[in-house]
Structure 1
Protein backbone atom coordinates (compact mmCIF):
# COMPACT_ATOMS: atom_id res chain seq x y z
CA UNK A 1 0.00 0.00 0.00
CA UNK A 2 2.88 2.36 0.76
CA UNK A 3 3.86 4.61 -2.17
CA UNK A 4 0.61 3.73 -3.97
CA UNK A 5 -1.03 6.55 -5.92
CA UNK A 6 -4.81 6.91 -5.67
CA UNK A 7 -6.81 8.91 -8.19
CA UNK A 8 -3.49 10.03 -9.72
CA UNK A 9 -3.39 12.51 -6.86
CA UNK A 10 -2.96 10.99 -3.40
CA UNK A 11 0.38 9.31 -2.65
CA UNK A 12 0.39 6.97 0.36
CA UNK A 13 3.31 7.79 2.67
CA UNK A 14 3.04 6.13 6.08
CA UNK A 15 0.87 3.73 8.08
CA UNK A 16 -0.58 5.58 11.08
CA UNK A 17 -2.99 3.03 12.51
CA UNK A 18 -3.71 -0.66 12.00
CA UNK A 19 -7.22 -1.58 13.10
CA UNK A 20 -9.19 -4.80 12.95
CA UNK A 21 -11.27 -3.65 9.99
CA UNK A 22 -9.32 -0.74 8.52
CA UNK A 23 -5.98 0.98 8.13
CA UNK A 24 -5.22 4.69 8.33
CA UNK A 25 -2.34 6.16 6.33
CA UNK A 26 -0.75 9.56 6.00
CA UNK A 27 -0.85 10.58 2.36
CA UNK A 28 0.25 13.49 0.22
CA UNK A 29 -2.15 15.46 -1.95
CA UNK A 30 0.19 16.03 -4.89
CA UNK A 31 -2.05 18.76 -6.31
CA UNK A 32 -1.71 20.95 -3.19
CA UNK A 33 1.38 19.45 -1.49
CA UNK A 34 -0.73 19.16 1.65
CA UNK A 35 -1.12 16.20 4.00
CA UNK A 36 -4.31 14.14 4.00
CA UNK A 37 -5.47 10.98 5.76
CA UNK A 38 -6.44 7.80 3.93
CA UNK A 39 -8.75 5.32 5.66
CA UNK A 40 -9.16 2.01 3.84
CA UNK A 41 -10.87 -1.30 4.63
CA UNK A 42 -8.60 -4.26 5.31
CA UNK A 43 -10.93 -6.62 3.43
CA UNK A 44 -13.21 -6.51 0.41
CA UNK A 45 -15.91 -8.13 2.55
CA UNK A 46 -16.36 -5.17 4.92
CA UNK A 47 -18.48 -2.11 4.21
CA UNK A 48 -18.03 -0.20 7.47
CA UNK A 49 -16.39 2.71 5.68
CA UNK A 50 -19.52 3.18 3.58
CA UNK A 51 -21.45 3.70 6.82
CA UNK A 52 -18.84 6.19 8.02
CA UNK A 53 -19.09 8.06 4.72
CA UNK A 54 -22.85 8.39 5.23
CA UNK A 55 -22.37 9.77 8.75
CA UNK A 56 -19.57 12.20 7.90
CA UNK A 57 -21.48 13.47 4.87
CA UNK A 58 -24.33 14.47 7.20
CA UNK A 59 -21.80 16.18 9.52
CA UNK A 60 -19.93 17.98 6.73
CA UNK A 61 -20.74 21.54 7.84
CA UNK A 62 -20.18 20.96 11.56
CA UNK A 63 -17.05 22.09 13.40
CA UNK A 64 -14.93 19.41 15.03
CA UNK A 65 -15.58 16.46 12.72
CA UNK A 66 -13.41 15.02 9.91
CA UNK A 67 -14.20 16.27 6.42
CA UNK A 68 -14.38 13.91 3.45
CA UNK A 69 -12.23 15.07 0.54
CA UNK A 70 -12.72 12.06 -1.70
CA UNK A 71 -13.81 8.43 -1.70
CA UNK A 72 -13.50 5.36 -3.88
CA UNK A 73 -12.21 1.80 -4.17
CA UNK A 74 -8.63 0.54 -4.33
CA UNK A 75 -8.19 -3.08 -5.37
CA UNK A 76 -11.75 -3.82 -4.32
CA UNK A 77 -11.48 -2.12 -0.92
CA UNK A 78 -13.49 0.99 0.00
CA UNK A 79 -11.53 4.04 1.12
CA UNK A 80 -12.04 7.66 2.09
CA UNK A 81 -9.67 10.61 1.95
CA UNK A 82 -10.04 12.93 4.96
CA UNK A 83 -8.51 16.18 6.11
CA UNK A 84 -5.33 15.49 8.08
CA UNK A 85 -5.57 15.69 11.88
CA UNK A 86 -3.04 15.67 14.69
CA UNK A 87 -2.43 13.00 17.31
CA UNK A 88 -5.19 11.58 19.46
CA UNK A 89 -5.71 13.08 22.91
CA UNK A 90 -4.73 9.70 24.32
CA UNK A 91 -1.32 9.90 22.63
CA UNK A 92 -0.74 13.37 24.08
CA UNK A 93 -1.99 12.16 27.46
CA UNK A 94 0.63 9.40 27.52
CA UNK A 95 3.42 11.88 26.76
CA UNK A 96 2.39 13.90 29.85
CA UNK A 97 2.86 11.04 32.33
CA UNK A 98 -0.77 9.96 31.92
CA UNK A 99 -2.37 12.88 33.72
CA UNK A 100 -3.89 16.23 32.76
CA UNK A 101 -4.42 19.12 35.17
CA UNK A 102 -7.94 19.85 36.38
CA UNK A 103 -8.04 23.15 34.48
CA UNK A 104 -7.01 21.32 31.30
CA UNK A 105 -9.68 18.66 31.83
CA UNK A 106 -12.37 21.29 32.41
CA UNK A 107 -11.41 23.00 29.15
CA UNK A 108 -11.61 19.65 27.39
CA UNK A 109 -15.03 19.08 28.96
CA UNK A 110 -16.35 22.28 27.41
CA UNK A 111 -15.05 21.30 23.97
CA UNK A 112 -16.45 17.77 24.30
CA UNK A 113 -19.89 19.11 25.19
CA UNK A 114 -19.98 21.47 22.22
CA UNK A 115 -19.04 18.58 19.93
CA UNK A 116 -21.46 16.05 21.36
CA UNK A 117 -24.37 18.51 21.42
CA UNK A 118 -23.85 19.35 17.74
CA UNK A 119 -23.56 15.64 16.90
CA UNK A 120 -26.79 14.89 18.77
CA UNK A 121 -28.61 17.80 17.14
CA UNK A 122 -27.58 16.31 13.79
CA UNK A 123 -29.49 13.19 14.83
CA UNK A 124 -26.56 10.89 15.64
CA UNK A 125 -25.14 9.04 18.63
CA UNK A 126 -21.40 8.33 18.50
CA UNK A 127 -21.50 5.03 20.44
CA UNK A 128 -17.72 4.66 20.65
CA UNK A 129 -16.33 7.64 22.53
CA UNK A 130 -12.91 6.92 24.01
CA UNK A 131 -9.65 8.87 24.37
CA UNK A 132 -8.33 7.39 21.11
CA UNK A 133 -11.36 8.74 19.23
CA UNK A 134 -10.69 12.37 20.09
CA UNK A 135 -8.06 13.91 17.83
CA UNK A 136 -6.24 17.21 17.96
CA UNK A 137 -6.31 19.53 14.99
CA UNK A 138 -3.53 20.16 12.51
CA UNK A 139 -2.21 23.30 10.83
CA UNK A 140 -4.60 26.22 11.20
CA UNK A 141 -6.90 24.01 13.30
CA UNK A 142 -4.21 22.92 15.76
CA UNK A 143 -6.16 24.26 18.77
CA UNK A 144 -9.37 22.42 17.87
CA UNK A 145 -10.55 18.98 18.93
CA UNK A 146 -12.19 16.50 16.57
CA UNK A 147 -14.39 13.49 17.25
CA UNK A 148 -13.36 10.58 15.02
CA UNK A 149 -14.20 6.88 14.67
CA UNK A 150 -17.82 6.72 13.52
CA UNK A 151 -17.97 3.00 12.78
CA UNK A 152 -20.65 2.44 15.44
CA UNK A 153 -22.47 5.77 15.07
CA UNK A 154 -26.25 5.43 14.75
CA UNK A 155 -29.23 7.68 14.17
CA UNK A 156 -31.57 8.02 17.12
CA UNK A 157 -34.32 9.75 15.12
CA UNK A 158 -36.54 7.50 13.01
CA UNK A 159 -36.39 8.63 9.38
CA UNK A 160 -40.06 7.82 8.80
CA UNK A 161 -41.87 9.34 11.78
CA UNK A 162 -39.11 11.76 12.91
CA UNK A 163 -39.43 10.50 16.47
CA UNK A 164 -36.86 9.01 18.83
CA UNK A 165 -36.27 5.34 18.02
CA UNK A 166 -37.74 2.86 20.47
CA UNK A 167 -35.64 1.33 23.22
CA UNK A 168 -34.73 -2.34 22.89
CA UNK A 169 -32.12 -4.73 24.22
CA UNK A 170 -30.80 -5.95 20.89
CA UNK A 171 -27.41 -4.35 20.55
CA UNK A 172 -23.93 -5.49 19.61
CA UNK A 173 -21.44 -4.14 22.13
CA UNK A 174 -18.38 -2.45 20.64
CA UNK A 175 -14.92 -3.21 21.99
CA UNK A 176 -15.10 0.03 24.00
CA UNK A 177 -15.85 -1.63 27.35
CA UNK A 178 -13.77 0.74 29.49
CA UNK A 179 -15.71 3.85 28.46
CA UNK A 180 -19.14 2.40 27.61
CA UNK A 181 -22.10 3.34 29.79
CA UNK A 182 -23.67 0.93 32.25
CA UNK A 183 -26.82 0.72 30.12
CA UNK A 184 -24.87 -0.16 26.99
CA UNK A 185 -22.92 -2.85 28.84
CA UNK A 186 -26.28 -4.24 29.95
CA UNK A 187 -27.19 -4.48 26.23
CA UNK A 188 -29.75 -1.67 26.38
CA UNK A 189 -29.97 0.29 23.15
CA UNK A 190 -27.87 3.45 23.37
CA UNK A 191 -29.15 7.02 23.35
CA UNK A 192 -27.79 10.50 23.98
CA UNK A 193 -27.33 9.87 27.70
CA UNK A 194 -24.83 7.08 26.96
CA UNK A 195 -22.51 9.32 24.93
CA UNK A 196 -22.47 11.73 27.87
CA UNK A 197 -21.66 8.97 30.34
CA UNK A 198 -18.72 7.93 28.14
CA UNK A 199 -17.47 11.53 28.10
CA UNK A 200 -17.55 11.68 31.91
CA UNK A 201 -15.47 8.49 32.13
CA UNK A 202 -12.97 9.99 29.68
CA UNK A 203 -12.66 13.17 31.75
CA UNK A 204 -12.15 11.23 34.99
CA UNK A 205 -9.56 9.08 33.22
CA UNK A 206 -7.66 12.14 32.01
CA UNK A 207 -7.69 13.74 35.46
CA UNK A 208 -7.01 10.72 37.70
CA UNK A 209 -4.81 8.91 35.19
CA UNK A 210 -6.84 5.70 35.18
CA UNK A 211 -10.20 4.14 36.08
CA UNK A 212 -10.77 1.39 38.68
CA UNK A 213 -11.70 -1.18 36.04
CA UNK A 214 -8.69 -0.30 33.86
CA UNK A 215 -6.28 -0.86 36.77
CA UNK A 216 -7.50 -4.43 37.23
CA UNK A 217 -6.95 -6.35 34.00
CA UNK A 218 -8.61 -9.46 35.44
CA UNK A 219 -12.06 -7.95 36.01
CA UNK A 220 -14.92 -9.64 34.20
CA UNK A 221 -17.53 -7.66 32.29
CA UNK A 222 -19.96 -8.12 35.21
CA UNK A 223 -17.33 -6.81 37.65
CA UNK A 224 -16.74 -3.76 35.44
CA UNK A 225 -20.47 -3.00 35.42
CA UNK A 226 -20.56 -3.23 39.23
CA UNK A 227 -17.53 -0.94 39.50
CA UNK A 228 -19.14 1.64 37.22
CA UNK A 229 -22.39 1.55 39.20
CA UNK A 230 -20.56 2.01 42.51
CA UNK A 231 -18.38 4.92 41.38
CA UNK A 232 -21.12 7.40 42.37
CA UNK A 233 -21.61 5.86 45.81
CA UNK A 234 -20.00 6.84 49.09
CA UNK A 235 -17.14 6.56 49.91
CA UNK A 236 -15.75 5.79 46.43
CA UNK A 237 -17.03 9.03 44.91
CA UNK A 238 -14.77 11.03 47.26
CA UNK A 239 -11.84 9.96 45.08
CA UNK A 240 -13.15 12.00 42.15
CA UNK A 241 -14.04 15.68 41.52
CA UNK A 242 -17.61 16.23 42.70
CA UNK A 243 -18.48 17.99 39.41
CA UNK A 244 -17.91 14.76 37.50
CA UNK A 245 -19.85 12.64 39.98
CA UNK A 246 -22.81 15.05 39.97
CA UNK A 247 -22.86 14.98 36.17
CA UNK A 248 -22.69 11.20 36.20
CA UNK A 249 -25.64 11.00 38.59
CA UNK A 250 -27.60 13.39 36.38
CA UNK A 251 -26.89 11.41 33.20
CA UNK A 252 -27.87 8.12 34.81
CA UNK A 253 -31.15 9.68 35.87
CA UNK A 254 -32.13 10.56 32.30
CA UNK A 255 -34.83 8.59 30.53
CA UNK A 256 -33.88 6.71 27.37
CA UNK A 257 -35.34 9.31 24.99
CA UNK A 258 -34.87 12.39 27.19
CA UNK A 259 -32.92 15.32 25.77
CA UNK A 260 -29.99 16.18 28.07
CA UNK A 261 -29.52 19.67 29.45
CA UNK A 262 -26.12 20.30 27.89
CA UNK A 263 -25.80 23.74 29.49
CA UNK A 264 -25.97 22.12 32.91
CA UNK A 265 -22.51 20.67 32.26
CA UNK A 266 -20.91 23.99 31.35
Structure 2
Protein backbone atom coordinates (compact mmCIF):
# COMPACT_ATOMS: atom_id res chain seq x y z
CA UNK A 1 0.00 0.00 0.00
CA UNK A 2 1.39 3.36 -0.98
CA UNK A 3 0.30 6.70 0.41
CA UNK A 4 -0.82 7.59 -3.11
CA UNK A 5 -3.33 4.75 -3.03
CA UNK A 6 -4.37 5.83 0.46
CA UNK A 7 -5.24 9.26 -0.87
CA UNK A 8 -7.82 7.68 -3.19
CA UNK A 9 -9.99 6.79 -0.23
CA UNK A 10 -9.61 3.00 -0.50
CA UNK A 11 -7.71 2.70 2.78
CA UNK A 12 -9.65 2.30 6.02
CA UNK A 13 -8.08 2.42 9.48
CA UNK A 14 -9.38 1.31 12.85
CA UNK A 15 -12.32 -0.38 11.20
CA UNK A 16 -14.26 2.85 10.74
CA UNK A 17 -12.10 5.68 9.36
CA UNK A 18 -11.68 6.19 5.60
CA UNK A 19 -8.82 8.34 4.32
CA UNK A 20 -9.90 11.20 2.06
CA UNK A 21 -6.83 13.28 1.18
CA UNK A 22 -3.39 14.25 2.39
CA UNK A 23 -3.34 17.50 4.37
CA UNK A 24 0.20 17.62 5.75
CA UNK A 25 3.50 15.85 6.27
CA UNK A 26 6.46 15.75 8.59
CA UNK A 27 9.64 13.83 9.35
CA UNK A 28 7.51 10.99 10.77
CA UNK A 29 5.23 10.53 7.75
CA UNK A 30 1.99 12.03 6.48
CA UNK A 31 -1.25 13.46 7.88
CA UNK A 32 -4.57 12.74 6.20
CA UNK A 33 -8.10 14.02 6.45
CA UNK A 34 -10.36 11.05 7.12
CA UNK A 35 -14.05 10.42 7.70
CA UNK A 36 -15.72 8.29 10.34
CA UNK A 37 -17.72 5.91 8.13
CA UNK A 38 -20.46 5.49 10.74
CA UNK A 39 -21.35 9.16 11.28
CA UNK A 40 -19.48 11.24 8.68
CA UNK A 41 -17.33 13.05 11.27
CA UNK A 42 -14.01 14.37 9.97
CA UNK A 43 -10.81 13.42 11.81
CA UNK A 44 -7.05 13.67 11.27
CA UNK A 45 -4.95 10.55 10.71
CA UNK A 46 -1.16 10.38 11.10
CA UNK A 47 0.55 7.58 9.18
CA UNK A 48 4.07 6.38 9.93
CA UNK A 49 5.74 3.53 8.08
CA UNK A 50 6.37 0.50 10.29
CA UNK A 51 9.83 0.46 8.67
CA UNK A 52 10.69 3.99 9.85
CA UNK A 53 14.26 4.26 11.15
CA UNK A 54 13.16 6.15 14.25
CA UNK A 55 9.48 5.34 14.85
CA UNK A 56 7.81 7.79 17.22
CA UNK A 57 4.06 7.44 16.74
CA UNK A 58 3.58 4.80 19.46
CA UNK A 59 5.50 7.01 21.90
CA UNK A 60 3.48 10.05 20.87
CA UNK A 61 0.19 8.17 21.32
CA UNK A 62 1.24 7.30 24.90
CA UNK A 63 2.05 10.97 25.56
CA UNK A 64 -1.39 12.05 24.36
CA UNK A 65 -2.93 9.46 26.69
CA UNK A 66 -0.99 10.88 29.66
CA UNK A 67 -2.01 14.43 28.71
CA UNK A 68 -5.62 13.56 27.81
CA UNK A 69 -8.32 15.74 29.32
CA UNK A 70 -6.23 18.90 29.37
CA UNK A 71 -7.47 22.08 27.72
CA UNK A 72 -5.98 22.39 24.24
CA UNK A 73 -4.83 18.76 24.08
CA UNK A 74 -6.19 16.92 21.01
CA UNK A 75 -8.37 13.89 21.71
CA UNK A 76 -7.00 10.58 20.41
CA UNK A 77 -9.62 8.35 18.81
CA UNK A 78 -7.53 5.28 17.93
CA UNK A 79 -3.97 4.00 17.66
CA UNK A 80 -2.84 0.79 16.00
CA UNK A 81 -1.28 -0.81 12.95
CA UNK A 82 -2.90 -1.00 9.53
CA UNK A 83 -1.04 -2.80 6.74
CA UNK A 84 2.47 -1.27 6.69
CA UNK A 85 1.66 1.73 8.86
CA UNK A 86 1.44 2.82 12.44
CA UNK A 87 -1.74 4.88 12.62
CA UNK A 88 -2.86 7.63 15.02
CA UNK A 89 -6.43 8.93 14.66
CA UNK A 90 -7.11 12.23 16.40
CA UNK A 91 -9.34 15.31 16.41
CA UNK A 92 -9.23 17.37 13.25
CA UNK A 93 -7.90 20.83 14.04
CA UNK A 94 -7.63 24.11 12.16
CA UNK A 95 -4.62 26.04 10.84
CA UNK A 96 -1.32 26.30 12.68
CA UNK A 97 -0.18 29.63 14.10
CA UNK A 98 2.45 29.69 11.33
CA UNK A 99 -0.34 29.34 8.75
CA UNK A 100 -2.32 32.15 10.40
CA UNK A 101 0.77 34.34 10.61
CA UNK A 102 1.35 33.97 6.87
CA UNK A 103 -2.35 34.54 6.16
CA UNK A 104 -2.13 37.81 8.12
CA UNK A 105 0.80 39.02 5.97
CA UNK A 106 3.22 38.02 8.76
CA UNK A 107 1.94 40.75 11.06
CA UNK A 108 0.18 40.14 14.39
CA UNK A 109 -0.95 43.02 16.59
CA UNK A 110 0.43 43.18 20.12
CA UNK A 111 -3.04 42.27 21.39
CA UNK A 112 -3.07 39.11 19.24
CA UNK A 113 0.42 38.13 20.40
CA UNK A 114 -0.55 38.57 24.06
CA UNK A 115 -3.80 36.62 23.66
CA UNK A 116 -1.91 33.77 21.99
CA UNK A 117 0.83 33.92 24.64
CA UNK A 118 -1.74 33.46 27.40
CA UNK A 119 -2.99 30.20 25.90
CA UNK A 120 0.42 28.93 24.79
CA UNK A 121 1.88 29.41 28.27
CA UNK A 122 -1.06 27.48 29.73
CA UNK A 123 -0.51 24.57 27.32
CA UNK A 124 3.19 24.38 28.13
CA UNK A 125 2.53 24.67 31.87
CA UNK A 126 0.05 21.80 31.69
CA UNK A 127 2.60 19.64 29.85
CA UNK A 128 5.25 20.46 32.45
CA UNK A 129 2.85 19.65 35.29
CA UNK A 130 2.50 16.18 33.74
CA UNK A 131 6.30 15.79 34.09
CA UNK A 132 7.18 16.27 30.41
CA UNK A 133 8.98 18.92 28.39
CA UNK A 134 7.95 19.43 24.75
CA UNK A 135 11.38 20.25 23.24
CA UNK A 136 10.01 21.51 19.91
CA UNK A 137 8.10 24.70 20.66
CA UNK A 138 7.42 26.47 17.35
CA UNK A 139 4.47 28.14 15.56
CA UNK A 140 3.79 25.00 13.50
CA UNK A 141 3.12 22.97 16.66
CA UNK A 142 0.27 25.16 17.89
CA UNK A 143 -3.03 24.80 16.03
CA UNK A 144 -6.34 26.58 16.31
CA UNK A 145 -9.43 24.51 16.94
CA UNK A 146 -12.46 24.38 14.67
CA UNK A 147 -16.19 24.83 15.25
CA UNK A 148 -16.97 25.71 18.85
CA UNK A 149 -13.25 25.48 19.64
CA UNK A 150 -12.21 27.95 16.92
CA UNK A 151 -10.70 30.40 19.45
CA UNK A 152 -8.81 27.74 21.40
CA UNK A 153 -5.10 27.05 20.85
CA UNK A 154 -4.05 23.38 20.79
CA UNK A 155 -0.53 22.06 21.28
CA UNK A 156 0.56 19.11 19.13
CA UNK A 157 3.50 16.94 18.05
CA UNK A 158 4.93 15.32 21.16
CA UNK A 159 7.31 13.03 19.28
CA UNK A 160 10.35 14.81 20.76
CA UNK A 161 8.89 15.32 24.24
CA UNK A 162 10.84 13.92 27.19
CA UNK A 163 10.09 13.12 30.80
CA UNK A 164 12.09 15.51 32.97
CA UNK A 165 11.14 14.25 36.43
CA UNK A 166 9.88 11.10 38.10
CA UNK A 167 6.14 10.98 38.85
CA UNK A 168 6.56 9.58 42.34
CA UNK A 169 9.86 10.93 43.70
CA UNK A 170 9.78 14.23 41.72
CA UNK A 171 13.49 13.64 41.06
CA UNK A 172 14.68 15.56 37.99
CA UNK A 173 16.76 14.03 35.21
CA UNK A 174 20.49 14.69 35.69
CA UNK A 175 22.41 17.55 34.08
CA UNK A 176 24.19 16.42 30.93
CA UNK A 177 26.27 17.94 28.17
CA UNK A 178 27.32 16.89 24.65
CA UNK A 179 23.71 16.33 23.57
CA UNK A 180 22.67 16.63 19.94
CA UNK A 181 20.32 19.49 19.11
CA UNK A 182 16.71 18.42 19.59
CA UNK A 183 13.96 20.53 18.08
CA UNK A 184 13.99 23.34 15.53
CA UNK A 185 17.18 25.41 15.36
CA UNK A 186 15.41 28.76 14.79
CA UNK A 187 13.49 28.56 18.09
CA UNK A 188 15.89 26.38 20.12
CA UNK A 189 17.24 27.71 23.42
CA UNK A 190 20.87 28.71 23.86
CA UNK A 191 21.44 25.68 26.10
CA UNK A 192 19.94 23.37 23.46
CA UNK A 193 22.43 24.77 20.92
CA UNK A 194 25.23 24.24 23.45
CA UNK A 195 24.28 20.57 23.81
CA UNK A 196 23.02 20.85 27.39
CA UNK A 197 20.18 18.60 28.57
CA UNK A 198 16.93 20.52 28.20
CA UNK A 199 14.53 21.35 31.01
CA UNK A 200 11.38 23.41 31.48
CA UNK A 201 13.19 26.72 31.03
CA UNK A 202 14.18 25.74 27.49
CA UNK A 203 10.54 25.33 26.44
CA UNK A 204 9.86 28.78 27.89
CA UNK A 205 12.88 30.33 26.15
CA UNK A 206 11.70 28.86 22.85
CA UNK A 207 8.23 30.31 23.47
CA UNK A 208 9.85 33.71 24.03
CA UNK A 209 11.49 33.47 20.61
CA UNK A 210 8.18 32.43 19.02
CA UNK A 211 6.40 35.44 20.54
CA UNK A 212 9.19 37.77 19.40
CA UNK A 213 8.88 36.26 15.92
CA UNK A 214 5.15 37.01 15.94
CA UNK A 215 5.78 40.53 17.20
CA UNK A 216 8.61 41.44 14.83
CA UNK A 217 7.93 39.19 11.84
CA UNK A 218 11.46 37.84 11.85
CA UNK A 219 14.19 36.76 14.28
CA UNK A 220 17.69 38.32 14.07
CA UNK A 221 19.38 34.98 13.41
CA UNK A 222 17.06 33.79 10.62
CA UNK A 223 18.99 32.88 7.49
CA UNK A 224 22.41 32.79 9.15
CA UNK A 225 24.76 30.13 7.78
CA UNK A 226 26.15 27.94 10.54
Aligned with residue 138 of structure 1, among 146, 149, 158 = 146
Alignment of 1:87-236 (within 5 A): 87-158=95-166, 161-214=169-222, 217-220=223-226
The SS at the match of 1:56 is helix
Q: How many residues matched? A: 218
Compute the displacement of 1:80 (Å). 0.6
Question: Unaligned 5+ residue runs, structure 1?
Answer: 221-266
Runs of 4+ that moved beyond 6 A: none
Q: Distance in 1 between matches of 2:64 and 2:121?
A: 19
Q: Which has the higher helix share?
A: 1
Q: Distance in 2 between matches of 1:24 and 1:179?
A: 23
**What whole-Å deviation, never above 9, does each CA across 1:176-232 have from its counterpart, x for those lacking one?**
000010001111001000000011100010110010111xx2431xxxxxxxxxxxx
Aligned-pair Cα RMSD in Å: 1.4
What TM-score, normalized to structure 1? Answer: 0.78
* Structure label with greater radius of gyration: 1
What TM-score, normalized to structure 2? Answer: 0.92
Q: Distance in 1 between matches of 2:14 and 2:97?
A: 31
Q: Distance in 2 between matches of 1:16 and 1:170?
A: 37
Q: Distance in 2 between matches of 1:56 and 1:123?
A: 13
Q: Distance in 1 between matches of 2:43 and 2:78?
A: 10
The SS at the match of 1:129 is coil
Question: Unaligned 5+ residue runs, structure 2?
Answer: 1-5
**What whole-Å deviation, never above 9, does each CA across 1:7-54 have from its counterpart, x for those lacking one?**
331110111112222211111112221110001114523420011011
Contact kept in structure 1, 2:14 and 2:78, CA below 8 Å: no
